[in-house]
Chain A
Amino acid sequence: KAGVTQTPRYLIKTRGQQVTLSCSPISGHRSVSWYQQTPGQGLQFLFEYFSETQRNKGNFPGRFSGRQFSNSRSEMNVSTLELGDSALYLCASSQTLQGANTGELFFGEGSRLTVL
């Protein structure tokens, strides 16, 4: 079965612009989580969506937002980009809500964002 698909894989933006990243989870998975990975900070939790509702949110400013569609696909948006937003954005899917399940996260390849 197909894995988690993230698009685009690479993108370059300038400060002040906005960006939208897309994630298609594994078929049948209803939970989608987003993580920001940077060399110095590791994997930082952004948010989790389940059945089109945001269930958990990390400590990121309001410029970071997301949504989930009825087919479980998810998008995240970052507005007013800053240099510090340069990172690898990873999407992960799981069958059930993170906190309720005992299963693993399946990660996509990530979207590498560079902000100039």
Chain B
Amino acid sequence: GQQVMQIPQYQHVQEGEDFTTYCNSSTTLSNIQWYKQRPGGHPVFLIQLVKSGEVKKQKRLTFQFGEAKKNSSLHITATQTTDVGTYFCAGRRDTGRRALTFGSGTRLQVQP
């Protein structure tokens, strides 16, 4: 079945450093979504990417969708303590069953 791998599993950074998490799918995706889950909270939608090579920005967050639509990345510039949480990518297959498959998540810890 479809697999969505996410690396790294965990990253600890100093406040002000940059952070990147990568997402790779075993199959071509129709679109990819990113969610953030704060400690003790529930996943909250951040963004969706649909087009091959698409890049979207939200303030300090930059999201990319690969040309082959099989990988994606989230980059945070100059992290802040409010960025703490687990970031999940979630991909939807291009064909067949289309339920969202979530990556295993990257837990970000920011040291003030």
Q: Which of B45, B88, B104, B105 contacts A104 (CB 8 A)?
A: B45
Contacts of A107 in B (CB 8 A): 42-44
Asked if B102 and A98 make an inter-chain contact with CB atoms under 8 angstroms apart, the answer reads no
Q: B1, A98: Cβ atoms under 8 Å?
A: no
Query: Does the CB pair A42–B33 fall under 8 Å?
Result: no
* In contact, B43 and A102 (Cβ under 8 angstroms): no
Q: Does B80 contact A (CB under 8 A)?
A: no
Chain B residues with CB under 8 Å of A2's CB are: none
Contact A56 B45 (CB under 8 A): no
* Chain A residues near B44 (CB-CB < 8 A): 107
Bound CA span A82–B97, Å:
28
Q: Is residue A110 contacting chain B, with contact meaning CB distance below 8 A?
A: yes
Count of chain B residues with a beta carbon within 8 Å of a chain A beta carbon: 23
A81 located at the interface, meaning its Cβ lies under 8 Å from any Cβ of chain B in the complex:
no
Residues of A within 8 A of B97 (CB): 56, 99
How far apart are A109's CB and chain B's nearest CB, in angstroms? Answer: 5
Residues of chain A contacted by B43 (CB below 8 angstroms): 43, 90, 92, 105, 107
The closest CB in chain B to the CB of A88 belongs to B42
Q: Identify 15 residue pairs between A and B in the complex whose beta-carbon atoms are under 8 Å apart, listed by A's number.
A: A33-B99, A42-B88, A42-B104, A42-B105, A43-B43, A43-B88, A45-B101, A56-B99, A59-B1, A92-B43, A99-B92, A99-B97, A104-B33, A105-B43, A107-B44
Residues of B within 8 A of A (CB): 1, 31, 33, 35, 41-45, 48, 50, 88, 90, 92, 97-105
A residues bordering B, Cβ < 8 Å?
33, 35, 41-45, 48, 56, 58-59, 90, 92, 97-100, 102-110
